[in-house]
Chain A
Amino acid sequence: MMVQWIAALVMLQLLPLSLAVNAVLQALPAAVRAALLLALPLGGAALLASLPPPSATVAQALQGLALLTALLYGWRLLAVRELFIWARLQATSAWPLVWLAWLHGVGGGWLLAVAAALALPAAVLTVLGCALRQRTGGAYLGLRGRLGAAFPRLGAALAVAVLAALAAPPFPGFFAVLGLLALLPAPAAVAVLALWLLWSWAAARLWQLALYGPAWPRPAGRSDLGAAAAAGWVALAAAAVALALIGSWTWSMR
């Protein structure tokens, strides 16, 4: 039981373990990191679903810790300009919401759905960060802007992925956050609303850095995303939206 608890705390990282997990994630290759950004929360959610609910005192402490982690990383996100770090910190800010959902009675497949909805954008952003680094030599968005003019498809994919990361409708994160808010007591709900605002703020800052500013000339020999890759990203976004709508419908009919 204790091992499961520790594993859950590592996989769905909460402070102070989040510092160590983030350090490890940063040291891994980006492709592995992207896979882990999806696998860790799903594994953590599966573990939590198999655990019995904690006592009221432990639940209270866990809720406080989850909110603190989410808000701290959400606030730190405001100052991040590098896409890989942004995706990693956004994930660390979003995953504590899985803990909150579990603490307020969400279990089984629904908990996995919430975890997937909150984890997918960060994983996608990491993959897109790789595509950006291939084309520009780095994924830092502060020096050059107007990504859309140089790489229209990549720019659009990034803008949409950031939209999903800030839990905007009709992406799954929106319905996950809304469903979670309906379960939380008022003080915790207010904290999650503040977190939602921080995500929006950070996302808008990232758009600013990527879409405006001095042009980012396309390096010779570097092309935009291919038509097949772009179609793949569109299909993924459409599937996510469709699943979100079906999921929220089923949830509300419970």
Chain B
Amino acid sequence: MDQWVEPCLVLLPGLPALSAALAPLTAAGRPLRAARVSIGLTTATFAVALALLAAVLRAPQGSVTLVQFGPAGLMLDPLAVAMAVLVAGISLIVHVYAKRYMADEPGYARFFALLDAMTAVILLMVTASDLVVLLATWFLVGVLLYFLLGFDTTREASGRYAFWTFLTFRVGDLPLVAAALLLWHGYGTLQLPELFARVAAQPHLAVGGVPVAATAALLVALAAFARSAQFPLHTWLPYTMDGPTPVSALMHAGIVNAGGFLFNRFAPLFIHTPDVLHLAFVVGLVTALIGSALMLTQNDIKKSLGYSTMGQMGFMIMECGLGAFSLAIYHLIAHGLFKATLFLGSGNVIGDTRKDDGVPADDIYTFVVERRPLRAVKVPWLLAALITVLVPAVVLGLSHWLVAADFFHKQGAVVLLFFGWVTGAQVFFAIHKLPSENPWRSLTFVLLSFVIVVIGYTVIAHAFEMFLYPDPVMRDATYAAAGINLLVFDLLIVAVTVALVGAWLVTFYAQSLDLEGRPGTLWHAVYLNLYALFSREFYVSDVYLRLSRAAVDSAKRVNVALRWM
């Protein structure tokens, strides 16, 4: 790559680190100056990230830039630059938003210093080329997040939930430390490129009877599960809403999805460990289901958003488990952007709600005052639903004809298409719910949007995959590692499709199905108990709380017995 890339790579985490040091120093008596310094340097960081992206795009495929400082080092590859652009971009938006949002808060300069430090540490993490820097930054993200989430010290709740987040992150840090130690003992290097080359040469190496790659991959996956709020290590996420809104945006957009980054960074390790990928798929699936179910049953909208993120993280890990590593990064970026938008726009929603009188529009008002038809006409739903089945079938058939004769056997391609179909069908439902005076025009929109989503999703995901993993051998290896028996795979796809369609139908006919049952019946009792179970979040937090209190109480008793000696 070009000569200027190496200094820019150092500047990437260096600029926000400098800002973290400068912001409080420049703020004496004029706190706004801290924000200006911070935003200026974050803008420069984003510009550096974009320049590095241009350099990576111009460079020959597969080239990686390394900058060594003794044993530590930085690395610029497609994954690092994609993450750097996302993190620097969202950090800049959050900085600009926080300038006014946090203006009345005490510790204004401290807030910007912490935000800058967090940006620097995440950028260092995504560009780390050795295990020690990766471990140190992985650890530091948890520490800084504690102080950011607990920024408002007048709220005991924010401190309490920052504490839980910190503790869960630490639980997740330790498997990564263990994985690093095991890899170092097994392969004798801490440098990631060298390590992956050695793993490729000896994937089945064992130390003391322990298979190094498989065990390390499992430990890395555990670290990713904790960071990305996978069940049962998810309890910290929905409660972090007590932190300042800009922190929520940064956290949901750039920190919680570090699990997906970790899977991609260690992809050369995971391609030799199919069982770990299958485990990731199951954990991701369970998390996606539980997160989505809990999202629907919460009466606190912020907690509901937290569980929504948990569900999305489940999807992301599931994609990794299916070998669609690049799709996980694509998902991570897309989720990061829309969740940041949701959080930063949440103040407007509250403002709009205050202006609204809260009276629902009734049919007579709509007809007389707004002069709109009394009854909105909806798209013929069976016809529209048929589209959701026909479009993927046509895409699959065309791919079989145009792309490859064995397309049906490429599990990775089918997985991409499947995710495209799920997303497209969601769009269909969203449009179908909208009343329209011209159903045929809506139908055209349904068809168009569905085709765009399915093909667009598949094409974009494929293009993104080509960018992140230009080596076709590596691409095939990730899907091959995650691959399962073809018959089981087909059955799984059919089963998930049936489950999804069934769930959509139940949702659609929820009112007429009378899901609650009549009071006094057994089903009603089961329904209520299930609802209680969901609304208490499966008692997972309660169990953790009991266990931690027991540990502290018993320590207290021992201290008293030993007279604090």
Residue of B nearest to A155 (CB): B153
At the interface, yes or no: A174 with Cβ under 8 Å from chain B?
yes
Our pick among B159, B160, B167 for the contact of A201 (Cβ within 8 Å) is B167
Chain A, residues 45-76, CB within 8 Å of chain B (1/0): the string is 00000000000000000000000000000011
Residues of A within 8 A of B551 (CB): 75, 78
Q: Give the shortest distance, in Å, between A239 (CB) and chain B (any CB).
A: 16
At the interface, yes or no: B562 with Cβ under 8 Å from chain A?
yes
Residues of A within 8 A of B166 (CB): 200, 204
Q: How many residues from A make CB contacts under 8 Å with B?
A: 46
A204 lies within 8 A of B146 (CB):
yes
Our pick among B137, B160, B555 for the contact of A76 (Cβ within 8 Å) is B555
B167 lies within 8 A of A26 (CB):
no
Residue of B nearest to A19 (CB): B565
B178 lies within 8 A of A200 (CB):
no
At the interface, yes or no: A182 with Cβ under 8 Å from chain B?
yes
A211 lies within 8 A of B167 (CB):
no
* Main SS class of interface, A: helix
Our pick among A85, A174, A196, A212 for the contact of B136 (Cβ within 8 Å) is A174
CA distance A212 to B454 in the complex (A): 50
Q: Give the shortest distance, in Å, between A86 (CB) and chain B (any CB).
A: 10
Residues of A within 8 A of B136 (CB): 169-170, 174
B140 lies within 8 A of A168 (CB):
yes
Our pick among B71, B181, B210 for the contact of A249 (Cβ within 8 Å) is B71
At the interface, yes or no: B351 with Cβ under 8 Å from chain A?
no
Given A19-B562, A169-B139, A207-B146, also A248-B132 (CB < 8 A) = yes
CB within 8 Å: A-B pair count? 111
Residues of A within 8 A of B150 (CB): 207, 211-212
B159 lies within 8 A of A75 (CB):
no
Chain B, residues 329-362, CB within 8 Å of chain A (1/0): the string is 0000000000000000000000000000000000
- Kindly identify, within residues 176 to 210 of chain B, every residue whose CB is under 8 Å from any CB belonging to chain A: 177-178, 181, 184-185, 190, 208, 210
- Kindly identify, within residues 45 to 90 of chain B, every residue whose CB is under 8 Å from any CB belonging to chain A: 70-72
Residues of B within 8 A of A79 (CB): 552-553, 555-556, 559
CA distance A215 to B156 in the complex (A): 11
Q: Give the shortest distance, in Å, between B381 (CB) and chain A (any CB).
A: 53
Q: How many residues from B make CB contacts under 8 Å with A?
A: 46
Residues of B within 8 A of A181 (CB): 177, 181
Residues of B within 8 A of A197 (CB): 170-171, 174
Residues of B within 8 A of A23 (CB): 563, 565
Residues of B within 8 A of A211 (CB): 150, 153, 159
Q: Give the shortest distance, in Å, between B136 (CB) and chain A (any CB).
A: 4
B153 lies within 8 A of A208 (CB):
no
Residues of A within 8 A of B208 (CB): 186
Residues of A within 8 A of B156 (CB): 212-213
At the interface, yes or no: A121 with Cβ under 8 Å from chain B?
no
Our pick among A80, A186, A205 for the contact of B559 (Cβ within 8 Å) is A80
At the interface, yes or no: A189 with Cβ under 8 Å from chain B?
yes
B181 lies within 8 A of A200 (CB):
no
Given A75-B555, A148-B153, A212-B150, also A178-B163 (CB < 8 A) = no
CA distance A207 to B208 in the complex (A): 41
CA distance A163 to B140 in the complex (A): 10
At the interface, yes or no: B32 with Cβ under 8 Å from chain A?
no
B555 lies within 8 A of A149 (CB):
no
Given A76-B559, A197-B170, A212-B156, also A85-B564 (CB < 8 A) = yes
Query: Given contacts A178-B177, A208-B160, A212-B150, could you give 5 more A-B pairs where the C-beta distance is less than 8 Å?
Result: A75-B558, A78-B555, A149-B106, A169-B139, A207-B163
- Would you list 7 pairs from A and B whose C-beta atoms are within 8 A, ordered by A residue? A20-B565, A22-B565, A76-B559, A182-B185, A193-B174, A213-B159, A253-B71
Q: Give the A-binding residues of B (Cβ under 8 A).
A: 70-72, 106, 132, 135-137, 139-140, 143, 146-147, 150, 153-156, 158-160, 163, 166-167, 170-171, 174, 177-178, 181, 184-185, 190, 208, 210, 551-553, 555-556, 558-559, 562-565
A-B interface, 8 closest residue pairs, ranked by CB to CB distance from nearest: A212-B159, A169-B136, A79-B556, A252-B71, A79-B555, A22-B565, A200-B170, A78-B555
